[in-house]
Amino acid sequence: MTAIAQGTLGHWFTRNGFLLIVIALFLFFSIVTQHFASVANVLAMAHTMAPLVIIASGLALVVFTGKLDISVGSIAFLSSAIAVLLMHDAGVNAPLAFLAALVTGALLGALNGFVVVFLGINPLIATLGSMIALRGVALQLTNAILIALPESVRGLGNATIGGVFVDVIIAAVILIVVHVLHRRTVFGRRLDAIGNGEDNAIRIGIPVPQTVFLSFVASGFLASVGGLIGLLQVGAISSYLGKGMEFTAVAAIVVGGVSLFGGRGTILPGVLLGAFAFTMIANGLNQMSADPYAYKLVTGGLIFIAMYVDALRTRRLRRIPIRPPAQAAS
Amino acid sequence: MGAIVLAQEGGGVARRRLMGVALALAIAATLGGFLFAYAPNFFSVRNCLNVLIQGSSLGVMAIGLTFVMIVGGIDLSIPATMAFAAVLGAFVMPVWGIMAGVATMLVSGLAVGAFNGLAVAWFEMTPFVVTLASMTVIGGATVWMTNSQSLSDFPDGFFDLFLSAPAGVPVAVLILAVIAAIATLILSSTAYGRSLYAVGLNAKAARLARAPVEWLLFSTYAISGLLAGVAAVMLTARLGSASANLGSDGVVLDIVTACVVGGVSIYGGAGMATGAVLGALFVTLISNSLNQLGVSYFMTLVVKGIAIILFIWIDRISGRASR
Amino acid sequence: MIGAALEMTGVSKTFAGVSALEDAHLSIQAGEAHALMGANGAGKSTLMNILGGIVAAEGGEIRIAGRVASIASPRDARANGIAFVHQELALLASMSVAENVLIEDLPRRGGLIDPAAMAARTQPLLDRLGCGFGPQDPVEKLGMGDRQMVEIARALASNPSILIFDEPTSSLSAREKARLFDVIRKLKAEGAAIIYVTHFIDEIFEICERVTVMRNGRIVGSGATPDFTPGDIVKLMLGDIHQADRLRVTPAAPGERVLTVDSLSAGGFLDGVSFTLRVGEIVGLWGLLGSGRTEIMRAIIGLDPIDAGAIALRRNGALVPVSPHEAHQSIGFVTEDRRGEGLLLPLSVARNVSFGNMAAVAGRFGLIDRNRERTLATGLVERLKIKLNSVDQPVRTLSGGNQQKVVFSRWLASSPPIFLLDEPTRGLDVGAKSEILALTVQLATAGAAVLIASSELEELMRVCDRYLIVQRGRIIGDLGPDADRDALLAAVSETSASSPTLSSVA
């Protein structure tokens, strides 16, 4: 299997393969259905994709350090639930409620960060635990029923400016900000540095604990942003909000070229493309009236290939290029 | 619980066991107090038996996870595999009979496990994400196959067989006991079992000592898949139906908690099947008692989420010391 | 006379009562490359850690450019103009060259990193080092030599007056090494003071003006390089080698061939290694650190991949070609890293011994019989005189020597026909060393073929029937049992320019 990837074609494919796949998928759906490639549909996909792409970008920040945060869906859910409950039960006005949600998201992220960094617990298990516990709290608070948003804000989710959905604009802005944060700030560079090898990072003098902690806070915050956008789109809080979102987010960033081993990948175009790929598949399959399971199958297969490629690529790149053999006479 | 585990391992991990045991006992005592006051029904024979039966399928799956954790891996797809196996078996059984149905459940569980094992051992993919991916795909497949319905067309003979209670002991508990005994034997007294611990403790050293590391890794996932199949049999017999709901999120947490509470280290190289079984009983007790106390399902999730972090923390602070 | 760029006098350091460095003095001039040599444990690392601010010196004085300097942390070291190029490169592979070079001090403008400034600060450094790549290139695309240049650029980014290279050539090709030397010459011309730590004697004659040799924490020799011969340096490094008691009587008639290795090569580590082992003989693999002894052994049993070459094992009276994996099944390998790779530390002695010998402890139904396990362990403990309280105690509580004996005992239980021993007496006290060597002789007397790798000539001379001289992954000599100390020292200190490539064909 490795032999395939070692050829130059294989090499090119592992670096750019997913762009190819995204294009191929787009073409496929455009041909097979009637309305897929229309401007309206693309805009609709962008709209649907907004919460996912925002949450995924936050998650990516954690993944750049080589760690994982699978509680993002639950954080999105809980912070949105809090916003709704504040408005619904306590009559708090919308902006304040949304602010509360964002603060909650950051705090929950900080909680994750605390458990991972200062208690030293394996991030997989720590965020697995918080994923389930936080969802439990949110379900408890909402009693798992549907609670509608107050009239005043219910329509916000579908507001448009000049034909473009507002939340698409918000998502675009956020993506750009997070991208710049990743590539052009010291904090962002440190994330990649840690992902390249925590021991090396410590040797170089990077403040690893603080940086990792902050990445979790950012992930929690962005999860709450995505959650709010999702809430607004639906117009009500339901127990389906964010459910399974963490897995889709992980899948989106892996397919988008972010390595789970850390230190590698981009927000733009990586995470954007990955999120788009999944949204495209859902939308396209839907338009084909295909079986709902087909979505799971295709995405599952896609994740698998992406991970395999990731593992291959990381293994290959970790081996230093072979130098010419030692010569007899120097 | 602590005594059994201590006797089978070197003394160095005693401190971790003691702390874990102390914590478990503390929680049990607290709950016991509440139960005595608010829900005395809990202590009835019927309920106790109930807990045992409920806990046995969890226990079987926890034993499967134990194998995987001992070599330092993790398998999140166990409940999803169980649901998948249950559903496949539910299709087969009405048509081809009980034995065929049971066999289908076992084989399909084994197949999923083998797939995971292949990916982890030879493709060198991260266990967490591999089993996460297979969990998603298998879960989706199950939903698709059943159209989100639940299947309950089982021949009576199936229930007669698996719900009987020879000599007063429910079959489910018997199955658990037998599997636990075999697992304990394998882990503590066979070359294979020893090799698993070695790989979990230090894969480099194991390879140097000629252990076939890839095959060992592969086998643990196959076993956990197989045991998920066994759990499928037990659960469908008890519930009388098979559906994708069998393998929800909460179950994964329960299984991992059961193992961690039972002293199976997340870092690999330590843990016994008996510990996992006791851990499973503990988790079932928590669920059952919280239920009896009227605590909502959701709050139970919160309690479990916190519990797992606590126990992993103990695992970590004493695990580092003994390495 | 220009004042020294760096002057250390009377510097000492003890760790837990054991003296690691005693009364060290070192004087480095600007514009020179000064070699620092010494075997493992000689004190070089301690000295460098002091200069790097990782440990504090006890006593003595450090002067930099004439002023007394206090180095209490890595920041201090940097502030004092000291920079390191470590043996283990601390590079961030997926990031760009510029990011790696400037990671400790990224240039910013208005809160964001300024890419123009990054390129502007990195390019001159790269030019100075004659690099063919640019600041934007990802480090992971670079070969070893180029990566090292990036590490050097990072060191240079802080404008150091003293540059310390730690084993810089271990992983370089001849061409990359030549380029490194060009860079060093250029840095010298620019006035830098360079400390060059290495095992490779031929290099210091090529690039270093002066050399200082350490042994057992003390400076045992220092001066201008032309005043020494390679043999002098080796003698200073290894100290007095007395012909210690020979523990072995070499049998008159050599036994049957049991293992042949032919032209084994592996990606830059091994180059055409060939030799033969015979029944009942002890062959020493003698070479300085980094010569490739461990690599040869690991390649034979398949722990590291090989690119070319063949291995043959004797089976049923004939030599049969085998894969390294198959060879592993018939070879007992005692690793040089007993704690990391040889033992399962948290487990008991009994379990460590039985692991790999399951057949010997099998009871009814093929299950492990605890009593047999204990008996096996106890028997071996007695035979090897391992000091412990009980075979059930965790092996990590044993002393180094006893741990090593446990490693041996595991292999003894299965009696393989071939043993590969890699530095079997490393870290052991004198008494334990003798015991292990005696054990090695027993193995050979019982009929096994033994290949023993060591950097301690003394112990090899006590037990070997034959010596294979290893240098840079190649066997450059083959000496018989009559080889005396001087001949062996001379053989290992031959520089590559003068030694023809000899392969042993027995």
Q: Where are the domains of chain B?
A: 56-317
What pLDDT was estimated at residue A72? 94
Picking from A205, A322, A326, the nearest residue to C473 by CB comes out as: A326
Chain C: partners with 3+ C-beta pairs within 8 Å: A, B
Rounded to whole angstroms, how far apart are CA atoms B298 and B283?
15
Domain regions of chain A by residue span? 2-318
Average pLDDT taken over every residue of chain C: 84
Tell me: ipTM over 0.85: no
Neighboring chain B residues of A144 at a CB cutoff of 8 Å: 298
CB atoms within 10 A of CB A317: 18
What pLDDT was estimated at residue C338? 82
Size of chain A in residues? 330
Q: Residue A240: is its pLDDT beyond 70?
A: yes
E-strand ranges in A216-296 read 236-237
C173 to A327: CB separation less than 8 angstroms, yes or no = yes
What pLDDT was estimated at residue C158? 84
Best mean pLDDT range from A28-32, B84-88, C5-9, C288-292: B84-88
Q: Which of A45, A53, A68, A44 is nearest to A256 (CA)?
A: A53
Q: How far is CA A163 from CA A53, A155, A160, A232, B218, in A?
A: 20, 15, 6, 18, 54
The number of angstroms, rounded, from the C-alpha of C394 to the middle of its chain's C-alpha atoms is 29
A193 to C112: CB separation less than 8 angstroms, yes or no = no
Peptide bond into A269 cis (omega under 30): yes
**What are C15-70's pLDDT values in tens digits?**
877 788 888 888 998 999 999 988 777 788 888 888 888 888 888 888 888 888 88
Chain B: partners with 3+ C-beta pairs within 8 Å: A, C
What is the residue whose two structure tokens read 């390998």?
C333
What pLDDT was estimated at residue B321? 45
**What are A80-129's pLDDT values in tens digits?**
999 988 888 888 888 899 999 999 999 999 999 999 999 888 888 888 88
**What are C24-38's pLDDT values in tens digits?**
888 998 999 999 988
pTM of the predicted structure, to 2 decimals: 0.80
Q: Which of C365, C464, C294 is nearest to B182 (CA)?
A: C365
Residue C467, CB-side half-sphere exposure with 13 Å CA sphere: 29
Phi, psi dihedrals of residue A194, rounded to the nearest 5°: -65, -40
- pLDDT band of residue A292 (cuts 50, 70, 90) is low
Q: Which of C285, C310, C296, C311 is nearest to C478 (CA)?
A: C285
What pLDDT was estimated at residue B15? 58
Best mean pLDDT range from A51-60, B248-257, C255-264: A51-60
Q: How far is CA B310 from CA A133, B33, B268, B298, in A?
A: 13, 21, 18, 19
Burial of C27 (0-12, 13-18, 19+ CB in 10 A): middle
Residues 54 through 73 of chain A touching chain B, CB cutoff 8 Å: 68
Query: Looking at domain B56-317, which of 1.10.3470, 1.10.287, 3.40.190, 2.30.110 is its CATH number?
Result: 1.10.3470
B269 to C346: CB separation less than 8 angstroms, yes or no = yes
What pLDDT was estimated at residue B4? 36
Count helices and strands (H / E) in chain A: 14, 4
Residues 250 through 279 of chain B touching chain C, CB cutoff 8 Å: 269-270
CB atoms within 10 A of CB A301: 12
Rounded to whole angstroms, how far apart are CA atoms C6 and C27?
6
What pLDDT was estimated at residue B249? 67
Query: Looking at domain C257-345+415-492, which of 3.40.190.10, 2.30.110.10, 3.40.50.300, 2.60.40.1180 is its CATH number?
Result: 3.40.50.300
E-strand ranges in chain A read 147-148, 160-161, 164-165, 236-237
What pLDDT was estimated at residue B137? 83
Is A4 at the interface with chain B, CB within 8 A? Answer: no
Tokens found for residue C258: 């049991």
The residue with greater pLDDT, B301 or B84, is B84
As a whole number, mean pLDDT of residues C305-328 equals 88
Phi, psi dihedrals of residue C165, rounded to the nearest 5°: -105, 125
As a whole number, mean pLDDT of residues A285-289 equals 80
Looking at chain C, which residue has its C-alpha nearest residue A199?
C90
**What are B205-235's pLDDT values in tens digits?**
898 888 899 999 999 999 999 999 999 999 9
The residue with greater pLDDT, C300 or A315, is C300
Picking from B123, B130, B302, the nearest residue to A136 by CB comes out as: B302
Instruction: Evaluate whether C108 touches C141 at the Cβ level (below 8 Å).
Output: no
Is B166 at the interface with chain C, CB within 8 A? Answer: no
- Are both C6-238 and C257-345+415-492 of the same fold? yes
Q: Residue C190: is its pLDDT beyond 80?
A: yes
What pLDDT was estimated at residue B171? 85
Q: Residue A325: is its pLDDT beyond 60?
A: no
**What are C429-485's pLDDT values in tens digits?**
777 888 889 889 988 888 899 999 987 888 888 899 899 998 878 888 888 888 887
C346 to B11: CB separation less than 8 angstroms, yes or no = no
As a whole number, mean pLDDT of residues C283-312 equals 86
Instruction: Evaluate whether C353 touches C406 at the Cβ level (below 8 Å).
Output: yes
Tokens found for residue A182: 């990743």
Q: Residue A324: is its pLDDT beyond 70?
A: no
Domain regions of chain C by residue span? 6-238, 257-345+415-492
Rounded to whole angstroms, how far apart are CA atoms C345 and C296?
26
Size of chain C in residues? 506
Helices (H), B240-296: 249-261, 273-292
> Best mutation site among B196, B208, B267, B320 for testing chain C: the one with the most C CBs within 10 Å?
B208
Q: How far is CA C52 from CA A206, C45, C47, C48, C78, in A?
A: 17, 10, 9, 6, 8
Rounded to whole angstroms, how far apart are CA atoms B188 and C351?
11
Consecutive H or E run containing C462:
helix C457-463
What pLDDT was estimated at residue A244? 72
Rounded to whole angstroms, how far apart are CA atoms C292 and C289?
8
Interhelix angle for A94-113 vs A208-234, to 10°?
A: 140
Best mean pLDDT range from A18-27, A83-92, A96-105, A149-158: A96-105
- Say whether C56 sits in a helix, a strand or coil: coil
- What type of residue is A195? G
Q: Residue A319: is its pLDDT beyond 60?
A: no
Rounded to whole angstroms, how far apart are CA atoms C176 and C179?
5
Query: Looking at domain C6-238, which of 3.40.50.300, 3.30.460.80, 3.40.50.2300, 3.40.50.150 is its CATH number?
Result: 3.40.50.300
Residues 261 through 280 of chain B touching chain A, CB cutoff 8 Å: 266
Rounded to whole angstroms, how far apart are CA atoms C124 and C66?
29
As a whole number, mean pLDDT of residues C167-181 equals 82
Phi, psi dihedrals of residue C58, rounded to the nearest 5°: -115, 115
- pLDDT band of residue B56 (cuts 50, 70, 90) is very high
Q: Which of C146-150, C243-247, C471-475 has the lowest mean pLDDT?
A: C243-247
The residue with greater pLDDT, A147 or C421, is C421
**What are B123-160's pLDDT values in tens digits?**
888 888 788 888 888 888 888 888 778 888 788 878 87
Task: Tell the CATH topology of A2-318.
Answer: ABC transporter involved in vitamin B12 uptake, BtuC (1.10.3470)
Q: Residue C246: is its pLDDT beyond 90?
A: no
How far does A13 lie from chain C, in Å, by closest CA? 16
Rounded to whole angstroms, how far apart are CA atoms C403 and C395?
7
Q: Which of B141, B136, B245 is nearest to A293 (CA)?
A: B141
Q: How far is CA A112 from CA A52, A123, A198, A212, in A?
A: 20, 8, 19, 10
Q: Residue C106: is its pLDDT beyond 80?
A: yes
Q: Which residues contact B82 (CB under 8 A, 6 or more apart)?
A: B61, B109, B228, B229, B231, B232, B235, B246, B247
C106 to A323: CB separation less than 8 angstroms, yes or no = no
Burial of A197 (0-12, 13-18, 19+ CB in 10 A): buried
Residues 128 through 167 of chain B touching chain A, CB cutoff 8 Å: 128-130, 132-134, 136-137, 139-141, 143-145
- pLDDT band of residue B315 (cuts 50, 70, 90) is confident
How far does B121 lie from chain A, in Å, by closest CA? 12
Q: Residue A279: is its pLDDT beyond 50?
A: yes
